[in-house]
């Protein structure tokens, strides 16, 4: 989830920055900057919420080494 959210933020911000450079200084530029800030704030929060809710319903990755969210907090066997 971490890698996919980073790719989405990086790609989205890169495209919006390209639009800003192409558009120049205009009212659209302000909206694009607000959109970049919105992406930078909401994407990590949503990614964390999705991962935590998936864990709570029982979706556990196969290659997990230490389960920090379990009640025992010990190694996965």
Read off the pTM: 0.68
33-45 burial, b for 16+ CB within 10 Å, e for fewer? eeebeebeeebee
Q: For residue range 59-70, what is the model confidence (pLDDT) as tens digits? A: 877 777 777 777
**pLDDT (average), residues 22-31:** 89
């Amino acid at each position: 989830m971490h890698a996919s959210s980073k790719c989405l933020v990086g790609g989205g911000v890169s495209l919006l920055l390209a639009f800003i450079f192409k558009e120049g200084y205009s009212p659209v530029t302000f909206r694009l900057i607000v959109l970049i800030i919105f992406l930078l704030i909401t994407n990590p929060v949503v990614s964390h919420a999705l991962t935590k809710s998936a864990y709570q319903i029982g979706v556990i990755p196969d290659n997990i080494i230490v389960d920090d969210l379990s009640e025992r907090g010990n190694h996965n066997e």
